[in-house]
């Protein structure tokens, strides 16, 4: 990164940190939240910033938009036991912090706090983030929202210890694919080194995040990969398949287990784009897209009403399966 842009990126960091420091000094009420169906980065960034602010003296409430169920793969994160329902937070807190949410819509019923809070701060790293909130700490080049939170904690003078580092490492490892994805920078490894130096059990964190699933996962995986379709003539090649929360339940699995399917499907050599349609309880499709590099799936997802990163994005569709995949084919053909 050129020095000039590094300096430009420091300004929102300092502004956000000074708003949070003032709030902490005044023992003000700070509400923090991340996107619906939070992943390791949303939860890790929210829980670690909340704990840091609590140590600095702020009155902190952490919540997530409904319908919220804590994924079992993440329920062990330090601080997760203190989450409160969205109905329990004040309607106009002194400060509201949104973490890892690419758009107000991703905050569900909590989006109203962007306007009703004394000050709203948006901390995010999605390329598709349009810019919202009063203070915008948004860096589309950051590999994870937790890296921005680590910068905030440093500015606030909060010492990274094992509980904080555990939350930060979970988000960092998840959003970089264990440091395999192209978003991994030299400073990503430097942060990882700082986190490991606190004494966290990174091997245990990785095992919980990536290598643990109920036996039923194998059955679901075989069904879903067995029905995958390869369409080499669409764009740079498309591989897609589908499942649903109901099908996950048939295998004894919570709906969150559907999230990992795309990580298997995207290994298909002949397709630049991998897609998994995940049928939700309300009948809609939650669509996951991954690119092997030639396709900007953030653009594709935005065109279809969603958002995300260049190589990992998603959107929702209320159309039936064939209509949903036909719309995706059209977008990929126009790439």
The residue ranges that bind Mn ion (CB under 5 A) are: 41, 100, 145, 175
Tokens of 317: 């569709």
Bridge partners of residue 279, in order along the sequence: 244, 285
CB of 124 to Mn ion, least distance (A): 8
CB of 65 to Mn ion, least distance (A): 16
CB of 275 to Mn ion, least distance (A): 20
Tokens of 76: 């062990």
Task: Tell the residue number behind the tokens 């819509």, with chain if given.
Answer: 105
**221/297 with CB nearer Mn ion:** 297
Strand 238-244 to 273-279 pairing: parallel
**31/138 with CB nearer Mn ion:** 138
Q: Which residue is nearest to Mn ion (CB)?
A: 41
- Helices and strands in the chain: count of H runs, count of E runs: 12, 11
Task: Tell the residue number behind the tokens 């700070």, with chain if given.
Answer: 30
Which helix (H) or strand (E) segment holds residue 135: the answer is strand 135-138
Which helix (H) or strand (E) segment holds residue 96: the answer is strand 95-99
CB of 143 to Mn ion, least distance (A): 8
**28/287 with CB nearer Mn ion:** 287
**44/237 with CB nearer Mn ion:** 44
**139/175 with CB nearer Mn ion:** 175
Rounded CA-CA distance 238/332 in Å is 9
Rounded CA-CA distance 188/208 in Å is 21
CB of 7 to Mn ion, least distance (A): 24
């Amino acid at each position: 990164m050129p020095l000039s842009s590094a300096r430009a990126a420091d300004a929102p960091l300092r502004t956000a940190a000074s708003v949070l420091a003032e709030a902490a000094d005044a023992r003000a009420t700070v509400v923090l939240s991340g996107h619906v169906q939070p992943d390791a980065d949303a939860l890790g960034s929210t829980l670690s910033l909340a704990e840091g602010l609590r140590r600095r003296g702020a009155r902190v409430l952490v919540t997530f938009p409904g319908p919220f169920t804590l994924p079992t793969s993440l329920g062990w994160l330090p601080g997760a036991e203190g989450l409160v329902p969205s109905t329990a937070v004040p309607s106009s807190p002194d400060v509201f912090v949104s973490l890892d949410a690419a758009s107000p819509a991703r905050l569900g019923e909590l989006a109203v706090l962007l306007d009703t809070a004394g000050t709203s701060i948006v901390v995010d790293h999605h390329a598709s983030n349009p810019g919202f909130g009063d203070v915008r700490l948004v860096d589309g080049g950051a590999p994870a929202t937790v890296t921005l939170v680590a910068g905030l904690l440093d500015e606030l003078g909060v010492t990274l210890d094992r509980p904080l580092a555990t939350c930060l490492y979970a988000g960092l490892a998840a959003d970089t694919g264990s440091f395999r994805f192209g978003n991994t920078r030299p400073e990503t490894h430097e942060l990882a080194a700082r986190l490991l130096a606190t004494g966290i059990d990174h091997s245990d964190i990785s095992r919980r995040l990536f290598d643990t699933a109920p036996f039923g996962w194998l059955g679901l995986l075989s069904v879903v990969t067995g029905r995958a379709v390869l369409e080499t003539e669409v764009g740079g090649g498309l591989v897609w398949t589908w499942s649903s929360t109901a099908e996950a339940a048939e295998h004894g699995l919570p709906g969150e287990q559907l999230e990992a399917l795309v990580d298997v499907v995207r290994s298909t050599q002949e397709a630049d784009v991998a897609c998994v349609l995940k049928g939700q309880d309300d009948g809609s499709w939650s669509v996951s897209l991954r690119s092997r590099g030639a396709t900007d799936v953030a653009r594709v997802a935005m065109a279809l009403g969603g958002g995300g990163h260049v190589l990992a994005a998603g959107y929702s569709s209320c159309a039936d399966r064939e209509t949903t995949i036909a719309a995706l084919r059209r977008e990929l053909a126009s790439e």
